[in-house]
Amino acid sequence: MSLQKIIIAIDGYSSCGKSTLANELAKRLKYNYIDSGAMYRAVTLYFLRNNIDFTDHGEILNAIANIHLTFQFNELNKQSEICLNDENVASLVRDMLVSEKVSEVAAIREVRSFAVAQQKRMGKKKGIIMDGRDIGTTVFPEAELKIFMTAEPEIRVMRRFKEMYAKNEHITIDEIRHNLELRDYIDTTRDESPLKQAGDAILLDNSNLNKEEQLNIVMEWVKQKTVNQLI
């Protein structure tokens, strides 16, 4: 007997470990994992490369018409990587220049409509895990399992710092703290689909959990939801 496939929506603050959890879950469940933040980052990269004025709606619409986003599965790291007009930009979109502007771009209504429409299409066949800020509230309000992730701010700062340090990025702890605080502020206060916990989302505070512990907790939730589907 095979379990019915569901949609898993993971939302939460920046650097809470959403993608780490989503990746591990996807491997265990053999689901597709889509990092919706990478889509907003790729749009930001395109805007920066083409000097798009973030306040000019006509220019933004023209730019969006020239953007084609896809995901390419990388067999080496077993991850779906974002492509901007057929160019794999997975590492470029993690650049600090993109991180500094992405929340501003993600708050633009036209950008959100473009990304959300594509994200909704990706969920048609279920068997998908998507993480972001509005997945449980806007993209997949019908998702069977919704998780809202959080962790103490200083823990998130140190996790991000270690990640950047490992990549040899020269950035101070203060710069990271400032970037995370600013992104949280813009993401939670914007007019368009601000980050908030869906009424039916389960809260997961992973401040004191290691990766294995958090995965085990969530796998239990997945089991409950997929078993419920069969009843």
- Site for ligand DC, rule CB under 6 A: 14, 36-37, 40-41, 102-103, 106, 132-135, 183, 187
126/196 with CB nearer ligand DC: 196
In angstroms, what is the minimal distance from the CB of 103 to ligand DC?
4
In angstroms, what is the minimal distance from the CB of 106 to ligand DC?
4
In angstroms, what is the minimal distance from the CB of 2 to ligand DC?
30
- Other Cβ atoms less than 10 A from the Cβ of 17: the count is 21
In angstroms, what is the minimal distance from the CB of 34 to ligand DC?
10
20/226 with CB nearer ligand DC: 20
Distances (CA, A) of 166 to 50, 94, 171: 30, 13, 11
181/220 with CB nearer ligand DC: 181
41/225 with CB nearer ligand DC: 41
Distance CA 147, CA 159 (A): 20
Interior/surface letters 48-82, b for 16+ CB within 10 angstroms, e for the rest: beeebebeeeeebeebbeebebebeeeeeeebbbb
Q: Which residue has the closest beta carbon to ligand DC?
A: 132
